[in-house]
Chain A
Amino acid sequence: MNLLESIRVALEGIMASKLRSLLTTLGIVIGIAAVIAVVAIGQGGRAVLMSEMEKIGTNIFAIYVDWRTNKQVTGREFDLSDVAVIKDKVPDITRLSPVNQVSGEARGTKDKKSTQILGVSSDYAYIRKFNMKEGRFFSEEDDTGKRRVAVLDEELGGQIFGRVDPLGSKVTLGSTPFLVVGVVAKGESALGFEENPKVYIPIQVWQVMFNTQVQELEGSAVSKEKVDEAMGQAVKVLERRHREPGKYASVSMEQEMKTANKITGIMTLVIGAIAGISLFVGGIGVMNIMLVSVTERTREIGIRMALGARRRDILVQFLIEAVMLCLLGGVIGMALGAGGAYLIAKLAKWPPLVSWYTALLAFAFSAAIGVVFGILPANKAARLNPIEALRRE
């Protein structure tokens, strides 16, 4: 008896009780749908996260004081001269800026707003790839000249100036007036990150207004391949200059992306595994019904044996029936899961990511479930004694 005949006989068995067959596969349908949807959503989310991070820049890094060390934080871990020295000693670092932050109030012609006041150098605009909506970012001369100039977020500008063009207007930070020289265009974020409104002023002005510390450094390297090495060299320079080994910590976008990749991967795996448990339960459901089916069809098995079916033929028939049931469930589940993932992706504006690879895997997996959970009932069928089977009502 060849495979094609076995499939036909198995199909006849399935078609003989359509509703029951469909209900039997329900567990598999739900399991496969859940796995497909979870994996697709996970992969879609990860792709969005990665592209988001890539947009920010894959070659940027930050150096800050490691808060996990027990060493006393003095506030003198960085100073402005570090920036020039590091740039000089580490040629792979193209841009480097001190970054100081404090929250404060910004007042425009229309309204006032609580905001983050960032003290940075002119390099910061390059590191963060700022896109100017109007005006310019402040220059090195603005910084060294300690000019009271400020650059606003597009959002903040709208909030405190209303319909008035902020460019050339005065923004008051605390009680100090600043000339607005530029507005940074709002970046488009598919993830919809809600960032605090920000205002950027030259670091040297920031230091006069608040304190003389430098909180951390941000920079960019020539390439994402070089960033981790360059960042390490910068840390060494700092450790030597300040005689504070082990006090600095650093992170690059490259590292962050790897971590994010890993975390989303693990999350997908964990949720996928939980969804996989429902597949397991579905498999047990198939096994259960197949066992009942073998008992109900004992006489059929006896007849087939009398007509010349070998034990192997019976085994294969029931095994194929289980596999086909699971494949049927797999196909329906795949359609449902892909549909669900597509819908969610559409709502979240993510790319729908049901790969051929995932579909193929789900297909193979449901077949495997059929084999694993079909073997017991099939074996039970094949072991029947033909005479007793024929006598059964």
Chain B
Amino acid sequence: MIRVENLGKTYMAGAHPVVALAGVNLEVKPGEFVAIMGPSGSGKSTLMNLLGCLDTPTSGCYFLDGTKVSGMNDTELARTRNRKIGFVFQTFNLLPRMSAMRNVEQPMIYAGVSPRERVRRAAQALERVGLAQRLHHKPSELSGGQVQRVSIARALVNNPSVILADEPTGNLDTRAGEEIMAIFQELNRSGVTIVLVTHEPDIALHTSRIVHFRDGRLVGDEPVADPLDARQLVSVEPAANQSGSSDQGGEAGLP
């Protein structure tokens, strides 16, 4: 699925180069749920941008689904992002003036899906993240946790090879974070590959494998022996899980 060999990225900040990533070798197999951890500035986001085809490496190779991505032109990269990658951002990055539906439709517009099919699939995706009752709400009318669920729906609507989430719970409180992890785990159980950046060990322990970075280098790679199940934590508060009928979701639920 994902295979990077000797991947490196050097930024030119003024006169001196900044090595953000160097000699990274990593393989992510289909169905895996990987957490990337490391201190701030260790190159996590740089790696995610490269994996997400938003940026091109200065050295090394990147294969996605057996296709060499490094060396693609802008148009091919855009197509790859559209078909094979789903992004979930720390800052959500929804289009503020559009409804949840319309936001989830966007990736399908660029994929050339017909309007009718778009509406069907967008509704389905929103239902899957527990927002069946919030289809026509705008981001400003939703809680942080709900907004992030919309962006997860948007990320998975084109059936990508991998979902890349850079600190998806970073702007959420613990409870909403748990809800998001519950959704990720649910998706992963149904076969979706997920790579997630976090600096919170609690979040990382929900995944099946943790990769450590320091100073742009991969310094550790270990499986998670007994992943936490977010469902248990979330279900402490009844009716606050994926039913979507609850207004208590999100940060409002906990003190």
Instruction: List A residues at the B interface (Cβ < 8 Å).
Output: 1-2, 5, 9, 12, 16, 299-300, 302-313, 386-387, 390
Contacts and interface: CB of A to CB of B under 8 A. Distances in A.
Contact of B93 (A1, A303, A313): A303
B109 A5 contact: yes
Nearest to A312: B75
B78 interface: yes
A307 B81 contact: yes
B78 A310 contact: yes
B27 to A, nearest CB: 24
Interface string B110-121: 111000000000
Interface string B99-116: 000000011011110000
A300 to B, nearest CB: 6
Interface stretch (B47-55, B174-182, B202-210): B47-55
Top 7 closest pairs, chain A to chain B, by CB = A308-B82, A308-B110, A310-B78, A307-B107, A386-B54, A308-B81, A303-B93
Contacts of A390: 54, 89, 93
B55 to A, nearest CB: 6
Contact of A311 (B75, B83, B107): B75
A12 B98 contact: yes
A123 B78 CA distance: 86
Of A1, A299, A307, most B-chain CB atoms within 10 Å: A307
B95 interface: yes
Given A2-B112, A5-B109, A12-B98, A305 B55 contact: no
A309 to B, nearest CB: 5
Given A1-B109, A390-B93, A306 B54 contact: yes
A311 B93 contact: no
Contact of B110 (A299, A300, A302, A307): A307
Given A300-B95, A303-B95, A390-B93, A309 B110 contact: yes
B74 A311 contact: yes
B87 interface: yes
8 contacts: A9-B109, A303-B94, A305-B54, A305-B81, A307-B106, A308-B107, A387-B49, A387-B54
B64 to A, nearest CB: 14
B44 interface: no
A308 B52 contact: no
Contacts of B52: 306
B189 interface: no
Interface of B: 49, 52, 54-55, 74-75, 78-79, 81-83, 87, 89, 93-95, 97-98, 106-107, 109-112, 154, 158
A390 B151 CA distance: 15
Nearest to B94: A303
Contact of A1 (B81, B94, B95, B112): B112
Contacts of A387: 49, 54-55
Given A303-B93, A390-B89, A310 B112 contact: no
Given A387-B49, A390-B93, A310 B75 contact: yes
B97 A12 contact: yes
B171 to A, nearest CB: 14
Contacts of B95: 300, 303
A304 B95 CA distance: 9
Given A16-B97, A300-B95, A303-B93, A310 B109 contact: no
A183 B31 CA distance: 108
A386 B89 CA distance: 13
Contacts of B75: 310-312
Contacts of B112: 1-2
Contacts of B87: 306-307
A1 B110 contact: yes
A299 B97 CA distance: 13
A104 to B, nearest CB: 82
A125 B154 CA distance: 88
A305 B93 CA distance: 12
A312 B77 CA distance: 13
Contacts of B158: 308
Contacts of A305: 54, 78, 81
B181 to A, nearest CB: 22
Nearest to B79: A308
Given A303-B94, A308-B79, A308-B158, 16 more contacts: A12-B97, A12-B98, A303-B93, A305-B54, A305-B78, A306-B54, A307-B81, A307-B82, A307-B107, A308-B78, A308-B110, A309-B78, A310-B78, A310-B110, A313-B78, A313-B110
B96 to A, nearest CB: 8
Nearest to A314: B78
Contacts of A310: 74-75, 78-79, 110
A306 B74 contact: no
